[in-house]
A and B are shown apart, each in its own frame.
Chain A
């Protein structure tokens, strides 16, 4: 299917790096991304009591792109306020990092948060806790300041920083890394701390991560009660609508590839689906690599061989797909819980009058309430059990 190319013809005469950069910087506003963004907007604008948003999706669907979109939108929204209050920042973003040990380090994370909140790095290693025990006097009456910087001091500093910088939203990207903790510690420790921090500072926290984040929904009652969940799914080939959108996505990419001739990705849409599992981010990265190879070879078109060379292996795809399936199942359970809850609460069945239940037992409403009460003491015989009067054969 031929169409007009979606870039300026001058780009074809530009240097290779410029053409690569063009495609690399291209972000497509595909339907699921737009849908998630539209869901996110009103929550950011007014979050009410829910101070935590969980944004979860499979790997390579566009979580970070969604975050960047939200950040840009917040800056545009708060433009005027920022001009008045120069100490305020519109948003802050930090990435949760797993250390070399394979574990998440809370102290390191707090330092990163402070840095993300524009705290001068000269201060970060010299934090003291004025709130509790930052300064005290020793036996000789000398003022002592704790030199050793503790996690609690950094936590206190982060709370102060959020209160003063007042970002509209504080994003924690790759938030599933928060769960990579040593055995012996509660899984919910760090997320619970984030929840209480969000409540104390009244700053909306956006936790962005893979389906692993849903573990918190299963175990943290307190955490899930006041949270909003936003699901950014992949395109599922089981559904007709998703297949159609997927073809449109491929076609859009095809029109944006800055090669001399337009490549034909559309006829290979199922192959492209097979090795990207319906994740737009994985597809984009794949096409980017294939384009780089084609341009390096000075080819006029990105062919199927370029794509095959840079595709994910079947093993990799299987591993990713396994995690996706598990995650999607859990996400479906969460979405299905609503109906389950409605059934348990009796909202699905027709309501009946309270008095009918009492009449069915032939009791007044007052008596019906006393049904369960014991009338006699233990061991006291029922009068009807023993016969009374003179028996006839005795007369």
Chain B
């Protein structure tokens, strides 16, 4: 045999090269990062659950997170459990606190992305407070939904629509809707199961082509400029988040305000006029100046609009450059000073106070001090300060009159309560207080014995009613059992349930005990 043509063949290596592990969940691309229309984290979660064809609560189930240590896992599962149980609390998903930090970190680890924190307001957590920043329900522009649906673009909820100051859609110049046009209910931000663009209560389409005409409001002309400013400003903040070289610090507002005051030679004494120009109360401004608190979002927007700048520039530009630009608007502030022609409060007339108080003393039903203060358009303290004798006299007079009236009134109430002890069926204290202009706590304080007797009588009556109902149900159950037994069928819970007029009682413990007992008598239980 000639084997001259033998060849050596290559030995093949079939082991896979060690490649990087793919993400546990799909690495879904967030929509609009780096623009004002950036997607919100809750919307991303809903889209991710749709991509995986599971419900939101399945997607966020702690079992998915196997690579996290136990402490993190328990924290996470607690957060999710709490938030999904009460959807209106879930506004913190897109917020600027620990919840959104943890949630975005977990999702980043699961999808192996590094940009999910930009779907929340985390970048701006140091410049404004959580209060009044977010809505506790959804808001949407139906025309936007309709356009996306028509152009076959993915439906999503921009982060901008969750911010409470934002009321309009800049693309279509109409107010955002906050309740479903079909069932008139507000929609939770995220729930156990949701579908974007559809109502989570009635399941109807929320776009403008839905069968019901959406309530279209035209924006008031005097309001439109402010709404535009707010929407554009908030959009700028969202868009700039991924491009920030460093996050703004907590003391930035104080720095800018102090630098501005120093640059314009405004002393602390002139703060009141300065605050009138801005439109924020002076005590608030002082708190910001001394860096004791950061401004709420509405105050922040008032401050930045007064300075004719955007919040983004206010927080990210170099302070000296910013102050240079703000000098332009300081002329406005000077104008504000000149135009400060608000009438100064005049000193109260002592004689007038005397007259009003004397008249009040002569009235059949003496008025309270508060009422007198309203008549005089001054505070209670001013009355006490200018006419202390008359103030005390009116107080005493009013007290004696009220006591007189009260004694008469309490006699009426006693009679009313005593009558209630005889009435059948015995009324509850709750129903009695509804018919009286007095709170139940007060009644218990005045007539404790009577009240406890009424309450006890009502309780006994309720217990008797319950017992009667239970006996009826057990009687019905026994009839059903005997019927089934005679037919040769085993009286199981499911079979008995079918024959009851009120099958809900089968869940009660007393029913199950009675059923067990009867089944035992019939020899079905060992």
Chain A residues with a Cβ under 8 A of chain B: 1, 6, 26-31, 65, 68-69, 71-72, 75-76, 79, 82-83, 85-90, 118-120, 122-123, 126-130, 134-137, 141, 143, 145, 153, 156-157, 160-161, 164-165, 244-245, 247-249, 251-252, 255-256, 266-267
29 CB < 8 A contacts A-B: A6-B11, A29-B10, A65-B12, A72-B16, A75-B16, A82-B19, A86-B23, A86-B27, A87-B22, A118-B22, A118-B24, A120-B25, A122-B64, A123-B52, A123-B53, A123-B54, A126-B55, A128-B55, A134-B53, A134-B195, A137-B203, A141-B183, A157-B52, A164-B51, A244-B5, A248-B7, A248-B9, A249-B9, A251-B3
With A29-B9, A85-B27 in contact, is A72–B183 under 8 Å at CB?
A: no
Please give the distance in Å from B64's CB to the nearest CB on chain A.
Answer: 6
With A29-B9, A86-B20, A122-B64 in contact, is A128–B54 under 8 Å at CB?
A: yes
**Interchain CA distance A136-B111 in the complex, whole Å:** 29
B3 touches A72 (CB 8 A): no
Please give the distance in Å from B203's CB to the nearest CB on chain A.
Answer: 4
Chain A residues whose C-beta falls within 8 Å of the C-beta of B17 in the assembled complex: 72, 75-76, 79
**Interchain CA distance A276-B181 in the complex, whole Å:** 74
Closest to A153 in B: B53
Chain B residues whose C-beta falls within 8 Å of the C-beta of A141 in the assembled complex: 183, 201-203
Let me know if B351 is at the binding interface, CB within 8 A: no
The residue in A156, A160, A255 that gathers the most chain B C-beta atoms within 10 A of its C-beta is A160
Closest to A87 in B: B27
What's the A-B contact tally at a CB cutoff of 8 Å?
A: 141
With A72-B14, A72-B16 in contact, is A135–B28 under 8 Å at CB?
A: no
Which residues of B in the span 457-504 have a Cβ within 8 Å of any Cβ on A?
A: none
B203 touches A156 (CB 8 A): no
Closest to A244 in B: B5
The residue in B8, B19, B54, B113 that gathers the most chain A C-beta atoms within 10 A of its C-beta is B54
**Interchain CA distance A153-B55 in the complex, whole Å:** 13
A71 touches B16 (CB 8 A): yes
**Which one, A79, A126, A160, A165, contacts B19 given CB within 8 A?**
A79
5 closest A-B pairs by CB: A87-B27, A137-B203, A86-B112, A157-B53, A164-B26
Please give the distance in Å from B19's CB to the nearest CB on chain A.
Answer: 6
**Interchain CA distance A26-B201 in the complex, whole Å:** 62
B55 touches A145 (CB 8 A): yes
Let me know if B104 is at the binding interface, CB within 8 A: no
Closest to B21 in A: A86
**Which one, B53, B55, B203, contacts A160 given CB within 8 A?**
B53
Closest to B58 in A: A126
**Interchain CA distance A122-B52 in the complex, whole Å:** 11
B112 touches A247 (CB 8 A): no
Closest to B201 in A: A141
**Interchain CA distance A122-B61 in the complex, whole Å:** 9
B202 touches A137 (CB 8 A): yes
Chain B residues whose C-beta falls within 8 Å of the C-beta of A143 in the assembled complex: 193, 200-201, 203
With contacts A27-B12, A120-B24 known, what are 8 further pairs, Cβ within 8 A?
A1-B6, A68-B14, A79-B17, A85-B27, A137-B202, A143-B200, A157-B53, A252-B9
Chain A residues whose C-beta falls within 8 Å of the C-beta of B8 in the assembled complex: 6, 248, 252, 255
**Interchain CA distance A86-B63 in the complex, whole Å:** 21
Chain B residues whose C-beta falls within 8 Å of the C-beta of A29 in the assembled complex: 9-12
B203 touches A135 (CB 8 A): yes
Closest to A135 in B: B195
Closest to B62 in A: A122
Let me know if B50 is at the binding interface, CB within 8 A: yes
A266 touches B3 (CB 8 A): yes
Let me know if B1 is at the binding interface, CB within 8 A: yes
Please give the distance in Å from A155's CB to the nearest CB on chain B.
Answer: 10
Chain A residues whose C-beta falls within 8 Å of the C-beta of B23 in the assembled complex: 86-87
**Which one, B11, B50, B195, B203, contacts A28 given CB within 8 A?**
B11
Closest to A130 in B: B50
B102-128 CB mask vs A (1 if < 8 Å, else 0) is: 000000000111000000000000000
Please give the distance in Å from B482's CB to the nearest CB on chain A.
Answer: 35
**Interchain CA distance A123-B7 in the complex, whole Å:** 52
B53 touches A127 (CB 8 A): yes
B64 touches A120 (CB 8 A): yes
Chain A residues whose C-beta falls within 8 Å of the C-beta of B59 in the assembled complex: 123
B1 touches A160 (CB 8 A): no
With A120-B25, A164-B51 in contact, is A145–B11 under 8 Å at CB?
A: no
**Interchain CA distance A264-B105 in the complex, whole Å:** 63
Chain B residues whose C-beta falls within 8 Å of the C-beta of A118 in the assembled complex: 22, 24
B31-54 CB mask vs A (1 if < 8 Å, else 0) is: 000000000000000000011111
B12 touches A248 (CB 8 A): no
The residue in B1, B6, B16 that gathers the most chain A C-beta atoms within 10 A of its C-beta is B6
Please give the distance in Å from A93's CB to the nearest CB on chain B.
Answer: 11
B3 touches A122 (CB 8 A): no
**Interchain CA distance A170-B204 in the complex, whole Å:** 38
B20 touches A130 (CB 8 A): no
Chain B residues whose C-beta falls within 8 Å of the C-beta of A153 in the assembled complex: 53
**Interchain CA distance A245-B6 in the complex, whole Å:** 7
Please give the distance in Å from B327's CB to the nearest CB on chain A.
Answer: 48
The residue in A69, A82, A87 that gathers the most chain B C-beta atoms within 10 A of its C-beta is A87
**Interchain CA distance A266-B381 in the complex, whole Å:** 118
Please give the distance in Å from B220's CB to the nearest CB on chain A.
Answer: 34
Chain B residues whose C-beta falls within 8 Å of the C-beta of A251 in the assembled complex: 3, 6
**Which one, A1, A30, A71, A165, contacts B9 given CB within 8 A?**
A30
Closest to A128 in B: B53
**Interchain CA distance A168-B19 in the complex, whole Å:** 15
**Interchain CA distance A86-B113 in the complex, whole Å:** 8
**Interchain CA distance A365-B3 in the complex, whole Å:** 68
With A123-B54, A135-B195, A247-B3 in contact, is A26–B11 under 8 Å at CB?
A: yes
